[in-house]
Chains A and B, each alone.
Chain A
């Protein structure tokens, strides 16, 4: 999937994550987290895996994590990417 427009998913609430995507010619991911020390690496891995699963190879991805569980981060990344790609996805494949 290719990100075509700026898009957002999630909120700043505790246990959620705010994911912002925008179009770019390169892939850049930046994560800030309230639990950076304990889970920073794991969160980055989750984000990278989800982007890979969605076929995203280019874009600016910023994640503001407020202690979200793994599936929440994946859901927010997916939400932002789908909005950014203005996609009508094949849900069976996601």
Chain B
């Protein structure tokens, strides 16, 4: 092989693909951190492993990280020509992910890397100035959206709410109630990641049971979370401890997907969110919401955004973190004023395991 491919072949010939286990290889991780930093990227705490390309002397030339089913943290030294090495790194990542039973992968990277990833079987879902979100199948989002469309409800004004509900409180219930009162139908999405104190299945159950208590019947549809709405793929900073400027890049992808794919499938015209006094990341997300849903010039109808003032009990906004604090200190009497019946019953079962539901 020679000619135009000469440089790339030479790098590939001298280039060994290896692995850095984030939990075990501290030295390798530091090298990766350095390479990422040189590209202006941080090392996300949830990346489990990196595929690495090293030259004959062992120097790190390029890396690509895997965090669950999200491929991210891609960087290469300036002298490396992207494509050949990236394909080899990606193949290693695919193999490692496949060994772990993960075949449906997402990729989160700079817009400049979009073409390379599309050449590797990825399909773009959303793009902002700072980041692009892709998945490794042409069918993922479209299958999800087709499934959602079967749950459409009739009406002119259709609302959407996204909750983590960790756990479901009277504050969440109040938000749902207010939103439903202003719409013909309301779709409630419960974040699907198992990254919170209460796992996704429990949170979903408490949301369903708590909303059932409102007696709104067919008017409210509760959707289990998916990879496409407030997930580690669409909004990674929500799940990472670090709070920095990149929170805004990640929120844009999630909100874009909501407006261009999820909302049209269900006919959602309005989005409701609680005011956010405590978490800077969530507050930044709410601010971005107005831009991406209501104002940005996208090829999808704008969605009206409504911030609903938080329900207050004893002069303080009801929040799930207050409930978790009460649970941690064992003070369920204080907590009882903040949560509906089903949530309280669940919390009691945690404190006194003998009284299992």
Chain A hits for B118, CB < 8 A: 32
Does any Cβ of B come within 8 Å of A15's Cβ?
no
A62, B139: Cβ atoms closer than 8 Å? yes
A30, B138: Cβ atoms closer than 8 Å? yes
Complex Cα gap A64–B137 (Å): 10
Contact A28/B103 with A8-B98, A12-B120 known, Cβ cut-off 8 Å: no
Chain B hits for A86, CB < 8 A: none
Complex Cα gap A90–B138 (Å): 31
Q: Among the listed A6, A13, A32, which residue makes an inter-chain contact with B91, where contact means beta carbons less than 8 Å apart? A: A13
Identify which of residues 95-132 in chain B touch chain A, using a CB-to-CB cut-off of 8 Å. Answer: 98, 103-104, 118-121
Does any Cβ of B come within 8 Å of A57's Cβ?
no
Chain A hits for B98, CB < 8 A: 8
B91, A20: Cβ atoms closer than 8 Å? no
B190-208 interface mask toward A, CB cutoff 8 Å, 1 = contact, 0 = none?
A: 0000000000000000000
Chain A interface size, under 10 / 10 to 19 / 20 to 34 / 35 or more: 10 to 19
Complex Cα gap A30–B122 (Å): 12
B103, A34: Cβ atoms closer than 8 Å? no
Q: Among the listed A11, A20, A34, which residue makes an inter-chain contact with B119, where contact means beta carbons less than 8 Å apart? A: A34
Q: Among the listed B94, B104, B138, which residue makes an inter-chain contact with A12, where contact means beta carbons less than 8 Å apart? A: B94
A48-90 interface mask toward B, CB cutoff 8 Å, 1 = contact, 0 = none?
A: 0000000000001010100000000000000000000000000
Does any Cβ of A come within 8 Å of B87's Cβ?
yes
Complex Cα gap A14–B120 (Å): 11
CB-CB nearest in chain A for B139:
A60
Complex Cα gap A6–B102 (Å): 10
Complex Cα gap A84–B137 (Å): 16
Q: Among the listed B103, B120, B139, B143, which residue makes an inter-chain contact with A64, where contact means beta carbons less than 8 Å apart? A: B120
A62, B120: Cβ atoms closer than 8 Å? no
Does any Cβ of B come within 8 Å of A46's Cβ?
no
CB-CB nearest in chain A for B121:
A64
Q: Among the listed A6, A12, A32, which residue makes an inter-chain contact with B87, where contact means beta carbons less than 8 Å apart? A: A12
Does any Cβ of B come within 8 Å of A3's Cβ?
no
B138, A24: Cβ atoms closer than 8 Å? no
Q: How many A-B pairs with Cβ below 8 Å?
A: 40
CB-CB nearest in chain B for A32:
B121
A12, B90: Cβ atoms closer than 8 Å? yes
CB-CB nearest in chain B for A59:
B139
B32-43 interface mask toward A, CB cutoff 8 Å, 1 = contact, 0 = none?
A: 000000000000
Chain A hits for B137, CB < 8 A: 20, 22, 60, 62
Q: Among the listed A7, A13, A22, A32, which residue makes an inter-chain contact with B139, where contact means beta carbons less than 8 Å apart? A: A22
Chain B hits for A43, CB < 8 A: none
Q: Among the listed A7, A18, A28, A60, which residue makes an inter-chain contact with B121, where contact means beta carbons less than 8 Å apart? A: A18
Chain A hits for B103, CB < 8 A: 6-8, 20, 22
Chain A hits for B91, CB < 8 A: 11-13
Complex Cα gap A13–B95 (Å): 13
Complex Cα gap A7–B320 (Å): 40
B134-168 interface mask toward A, CB cutoff 8 Å, 1 = contact, 0 = none?
A: 00111100010000000000000000000000000
B121, A13: Cβ atoms closer than 8 Å? no
Complex Cα gap A12–B137 (Å): 14
Chain B hits for A8, CB < 8 A: 94, 98, 103
Complex Cα gap A5–B139 (Å): 15
CB-CB nearest in chain B for A11:
B91
- Chain A interface (Cβ < 8 Å from any Cβ of B): 6-8, 11-13, 18, 20, 22, 24, 28, 30, 32, 34, 60, 62, 64
A-B interface, 5 closest residue pairs, ranked by CB to CB distance from nearest:
A64-B121, A30-B138, A60-B139, A6-B103, A12-B87
6 additional A-B pairs beyond A7-B103, A12-B91, A13-B87, beta carbons within 8 Å, are A12-B94, A20-B121, A22-B103, A24-B139, A30-B138, A62-B121
Could you list 5 examples of A-B contacts with CB < 8 Å? A13-B91, A18-B121, A32-B121, A62-B139, A64-B121
- Chain B interface (Cβ < 8 Å from any Cβ of A): 87, 90-91, 94, 98, 103-104, 118-121, 136-139, 143
